[in-house]
């Protein structure tokens, strides 16, 4: 549903002065303006789909154009809609919105449903010497024939790479007060490969589409602020050893810090967006002139939608849109349970990785993103999450058990926006409590403290998360 621009402007809320209130050494948020001055007062199914509340009217028109290319499906070439053709021939979905449902989180497929908003990253083990150049520029070694991503859809005249099947194994977790929580562990199978046998040493990493809000604000956090949090050797002895990934920047052809994606393997919103066009939809761009289609799959026999298929103009509109999605306001800040939960969040150590507050820097031509006090609850660093969540697939400096701390802002609205939304990198957690209980590695102590809590304290912590 399109929201009238006049109404959008009315939804922005003023950013309250930053409170100095802290608890257990971490800041406590006392303002609803989670996304700074661009925060919007929206808490329904469209909560993730509004532009920055402080965006100028001229820029709102750019946002609307970007939204149209993000939302509407791309089609096979040649087509009369030549600005939106060139899909495939191998792909996962035909629109950005197909994965990022209403700009929110995706979910694992249900029974007999295609895996649209969850896919598998692929790789094979690499030799650090022989494959050094591949690792420097890709962060991993793509699988022979099947590339870096399993594409489960194809144009009518092509065959999808394979079928993805997920089976669920129940895992019971008993809390200190005797409460039993049933988690579910996914087991992935690739069936009916259409381009020859899969490698025996194939590595797979499931990824569910994350929510899109606040990406421009996260990009605007000065890198030196993240470097100050970088502590790979746990020099401060707090049991947390977050590190900045170092990834290949396609535009500058050099290595720089990564901050986007489940393993922080993308340096900025534009490269993340063009990577999704190439991998998820089989669409080329100036930045990504090739897709994940491998030579053995003979994709060049299909018509393309221009060179590149995503024009620079369209690419810039989509990137602007992705950078401009606003963060919804916090809710229920005056609730005693929410306030109690905020204190507990800090006390048990969650804020050690989910850093509550950041300040953005100066962004040329984007005053709406500049000098904003924001509350994303992330350090954007990689952390070891333990064997239960490990995928065994390295990506640049991220090893097989490390994941980027996902932002928590807006998380309480995830299942309002998409009732089927799942939590964690593969959507396995159906509730926030399940997500907490899957935490291991550096988060083991925090998860165990949650397990030891009384029922009332656990409810308060979840109330706090739902208020974000």
C-beta of residue 400 within 8 angstroms of C-beta of residue 139: no
Q: pLDDT at position 14, please?
A: 52
DSSP 135-164: HHHHSSBPBTTTBTB---EE-TTS--S-EE
Tens of pLDDT, residues 33-92: 999 999 999 999 999 999 999 999 999 999 999 999 999 999 999 999 889 999 999 999
3 state DSSP class of 132: helix
Q: What is the mean pLDDT of residues 444-460?
A: 98
Query: pTM for the full model?
Result: 0.96
Res 311 pLDDT > 50: yes
> Burial code of 48-62, b = ≥16 C-beta within 10 A, e = fewer?
bbbbbbbbeeebeeb
Characterize the bridge pairing of strands 153-154 and 118-123. unpaired
Q: pLDDT at position 314, please?
A: 98
| Percentage of the chain lying above the pLDDT 70 cut | 96
Q: pLDDT at position 111, please?
A: 86
Q: pLDDT at position 3, please?
A: 43
Question: CA of 371: how far to CAs of 162, 254, 362, 365, 408, in Å?
Answer: 47, 27, 6, 13, 21
Tens of pLDDT, residues 376-435: 999 999 999 999 999 999 999 999 999 999 999 999 999 999 999 999 999 999 999 999
3 state DSSP class of 453: coil
Res 191 pLDDT > 60: yes
Rounded distance between C-alpha atoms, residue 340 and residue 103, angstroms: 30
Q: pLDDT at position 236, please?
A: 86
Res 436 pLDDT > 50: yes
In which band, very low, low, confident or very high, does the pLDDT at 20 lie, cut at 50, 70 and 90?
A: low
- Average pLDDT for the chain: 95
> Burial code of 399-418, b = ≥16 C-beta within 10 A, e = fewer?
eebbbbbbbbbbbbbbbbbb
DSSP state at residue 441? G
């Amino acid at each position: 549903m399109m929201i009238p621009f006049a109404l959008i402007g009315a939804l922005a809320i003023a950013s309250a002065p930053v409170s100095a209130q802290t608890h257990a050494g971490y800041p406590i948020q006392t303002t609803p303006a989670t996304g700074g001055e661009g925060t919007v007062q929206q808490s329904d199914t469209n909560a993730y789909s509004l532009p920055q509340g402080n965006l100028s009217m001229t820029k709102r028109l750019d946002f609307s154009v970007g939204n149209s290319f993000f939302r509407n499906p791309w089609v096979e070439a040649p087509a009369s809609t030549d600005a939106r053709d060139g899909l495939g021939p191998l792909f996962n979905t035909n629109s950005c919105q197909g994965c990022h449902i209403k700009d929110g989180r995706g979910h694992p497929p249900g029974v007999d449903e295609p895996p649209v908003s969850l896919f598998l990253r692929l790789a094979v083990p690499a030799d650090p010497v022989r494959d050094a150049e591949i690792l420097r520029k890709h962060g991993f070694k793509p699988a022979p024939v099947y590339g870096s991503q399993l594409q489960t859809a194809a144009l009518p005249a092509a065959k999808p790479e394979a079928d993805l099947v997920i089976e669920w194994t129940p895992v019971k977790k008993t809390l200190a007060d005797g409460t039993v929580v049933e988690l579910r562990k996914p087991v992935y199978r690739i069936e009916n490969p259409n381009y020859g046998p899969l490698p025996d040493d194939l590595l797979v990493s499931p990824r569910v589409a994350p929510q899109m809000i606040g990406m421009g604000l996260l990009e605007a956090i000065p890198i030196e602020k993240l470097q100050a949090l970088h502590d790979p050797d746990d020099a401060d002895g707090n049991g947390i050893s977050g590190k900045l990934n170092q990834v290949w920047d396609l535009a500058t052809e050099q290595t720089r810090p990564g901050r986007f994606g489940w393993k922080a393997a993308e340096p900025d919103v534009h490269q993340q967006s063009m990577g999704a066009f190439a991998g998820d939809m089989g669409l080329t761009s100036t930045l990504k002139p090739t897709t994940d289609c491998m030579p053995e799959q003979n994709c060049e026999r299909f018509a393309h939608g221009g060179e590149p298929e995503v024009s620079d103009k369209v690419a810039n509109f989509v990137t602007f849109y992705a950078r401009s999605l606003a963060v919804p306001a916090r809710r229920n800040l005056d609730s005693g349970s929410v306030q109690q939960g905020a204190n507990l969040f800090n006390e048990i150590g969650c804020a050690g990785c989910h850093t509550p507050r950041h300040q953005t820097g100066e962004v040329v031509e984007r005053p709406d993103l500049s000098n904003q006090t924001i509350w994303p609850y992330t350090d954007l660093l990689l952390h070891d999450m333990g064997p239960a969540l490990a995928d065994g697939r390295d990506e640049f400096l991220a090893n097989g058990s490390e994941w980027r701390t996902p932002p928590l802002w807006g998380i309480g609205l995830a299942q309002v926006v998409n009732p089927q939304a799942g939590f964690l990198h593969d959507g396995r957690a159906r509730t926030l409590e399940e997500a907490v209980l899957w935490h291991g590695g550096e988060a083991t102590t925090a998860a165990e403290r949650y397990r030891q809590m009384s029922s009332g304290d656990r409810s308060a912590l979840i109330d706090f998360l739902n208020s974000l």
